């Protein structure tokens, strides 16, 4: 890997670290952050690590008006050998660039982004929590910073990485959730931005989440925007079903996010010789399988929860209770294997772990 010039300005006022056994999600940030600026004509410049601090932007900056922004989410873990490891960061940086392209934003040097991330983590290494189930959540993001109210791609951007120690997603072990199938709101449609990791997808999804919450459901299952028949995602995760011994997941269609956990689950199942198929799946297919007693498991996949078993699906007045509302054996096996690889407890036959020096 190239030896990148990354300036470092260390914090003089180190913050107090939270108790690692009492962490929540995304509220506490480490002592430093990584910054890289872009100016049209000059390209990306001034890679640097500085104390974590507020950003100062013109009120007319394009990010505040036209949402030209992309982001990623990944995690770092401490192994039992006290090494800090990342899970497939190359995949995140590749996807960040695909998102950049969709949003008319300049692509980054993926290796520089990873070099910056590693250096940042090594500086803030005491912030990587070492309690079972905890991790260091990593948020790389790019924002359009040019002050301009015309609707056009920005001529200036800022790429940043911030870090947040996060608690175990499952405080009392992996636990199934109840999901409502969304009938009114739509997350994304082919030709839109659904397969890019960009702010607008998340802002638009809040309203459905709020309605589901009121009815006692943890998340919504999104159907396609065209016919409201085909399954897309669950909350902000990809979704898998085990039907009669075969695992199925919606095929990537332009409106579904290409999840890195999704990809890893497919690769893991292939490795285990468990049949897994990516295809168009209607909610009617799922209901039919359920009625026939063939719907064995359902689970979401994403960076935050890794695997999130679905205990109940609510659809058109019907409650589909899956696997007696309990975590399925396959979901558990995938969860244990993936978190085992991520935290260094298990072998890594795929080369998914990347060491932070």
- Binding residues (CB under 8 A) for a copy of itself: these are 25-27, 29, 33, 52, 54-60, 63-69, 71, 102-104, 137, 139, 141, 143, 147-153, 160, 162, 164, 184-193, 198-207, 209-210, 225-228, 235-236
Shortest Cβ 179–a copy of itself spacing (Å): 15
Q: Residue 226 to residues 222, 240, 316, 350: CA-CA distances in angstroms? A: 12, 21, 18, 37
CB nearer a copy of itself, residue 159 or residue 241: 159
Spell 3-25 as b/e; 16+ CB within 10 A means b.
eeebeeeebeeeeeeeeeeebee
Contact residues for 337 (Cβ-Cβ < 8 A; gap 6+): 268, 346
Shortest Cβ 235–a copy of itself spacing (Å): 8
Angle of CA points 237, 238, 242, to nearest 5°: 125
CB nearer a copy of itself, residue 30 or residue 339: 30
Shortest Cβ 133–a copy of itself spacing (Å): 17
CB nearer a copy of itself, residue 63 or residue 85: 63
Shortest Cβ 199–a copy of itself spacing (Å): 3
CB nearer a copy of itself, residue 164 or residue 301: 164
Shortest Cβ 124–a copy of itself spacing (Å): 14
Contact residues for 231 (Cβ-Cβ < 8 A; gap 6+): 221, 222, 223, 224, 239, 250, 281, 282, 283, 286
Shortest Cβ 55–a copy of itself spacing (Å): 5
Structure tokens at 215: 């009815």
Q: Residue 2 to residues 36, 50, 58, 66: CA-CA distances in angstroms? A: 16, 21, 34, 35
Shortest Cβ 232–a copy of itself spacing (Å): 12
CB nearer a copy of itself, residue 305 or residue 322: 305
CB nearer a copy of itself, residue 69 or residue 249: 69
Shortest Cβ 237–a copy of itself spacing (Å): 11
> CB of 255 within 8 A of CB of 194?
yes
Phi then psi dihedrals of residue 155, to 5 deg: -100, -5
**DSSP-assigned states of every residue in 154-172:** -SEEEEEEEEEEE--S-TT
CB nearer a copy of itself, residue 44 or residue 267: 44
Name the pairing type of β-strands 7-8 and 43-51: parallel
CB nearer a copy of itself, residue 164 or residue 337: 164
CB nearer a copy of itself, residue 19 or residue 149: 149
Shortest Cβ 61–a copy of itself spacing (Å): 8
Give dist(CA 44, CA 107) in Å, integer: 9
> CB of 179 within 8 A of CB of 319?
no
Burial of 134 (0-12, 13-18, 19+ CB in 10 A): buried
């Amino acid at each position: 890997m190239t030896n990148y010039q990354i300036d470092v300005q260390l914090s003089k006022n180190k913050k107090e670290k939270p108790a690692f056994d009492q962490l929540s999600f995304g509220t506490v940030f480490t002592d430093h952050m990584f910054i890289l600026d872009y100016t049209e004509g000059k390209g990306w410049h001034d890679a640097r690590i500085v104390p974590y601090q507020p950003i100062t932007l013109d009120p007319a900056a394009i990010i505040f008006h036209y949402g030209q922004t992309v982001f990623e989410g990944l995690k770092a873990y401490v192994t039992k050998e006290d090494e800090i490891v990342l899970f497939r960061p190359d995949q995140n940086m590749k996807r960040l660039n695909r998102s950049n392209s969709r949003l008319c934003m300049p692509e980054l040097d993926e290796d520089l982004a990873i070099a910056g991330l590693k250096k940042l983590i090594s500086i803030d290494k005491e912030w990587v929590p070492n309690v079972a189930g905890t991790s260091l959540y990593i948020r790389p993001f790019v924002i359009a910073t040019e002050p301009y109210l015309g609707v056009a791609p920005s001529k200036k951007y800022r790429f940043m990485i911030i870090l947040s120690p996060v608690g175990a997603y499952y405080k009392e072990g992996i636990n199934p959730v109840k999901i409502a199938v969304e009938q009114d709101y739509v997350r994304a449609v082919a030709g839109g931005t659904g397969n890019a990791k960009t702010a607008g997808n998340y802002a638009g999804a809040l309203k459905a989440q709020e309605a589901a919450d009121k009815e006692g459901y943890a998340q919504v299952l999104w159907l396609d925007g065209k016919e409201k028949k085909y399954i897309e995602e669950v909350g902000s995760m990809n979704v898998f079903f085990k039907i009669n011994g075969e695992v199925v997941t919606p095929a990537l269609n332009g409106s579904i996010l290409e999840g890195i956990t999704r990809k890893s689950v497919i690769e893991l199942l292939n490795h285990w010789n468990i049949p897994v198929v990516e295809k168009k799946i209607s909610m009617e297919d799922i209901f039919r399988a359920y009625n026939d007693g063939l719907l064995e498991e359902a689970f979401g996949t994403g960076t935050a929860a890794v695997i999130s078993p679905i205990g109940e699906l609510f659809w058109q007045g019907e409650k589909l209770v899956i696997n007696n509302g309990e975590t399925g054996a396959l979901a558990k096996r995938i969860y244990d294997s993936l978190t085992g690889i991520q935290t260094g407890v298990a072998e890594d036959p795929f080369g998914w772990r990347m060491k932070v020096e």
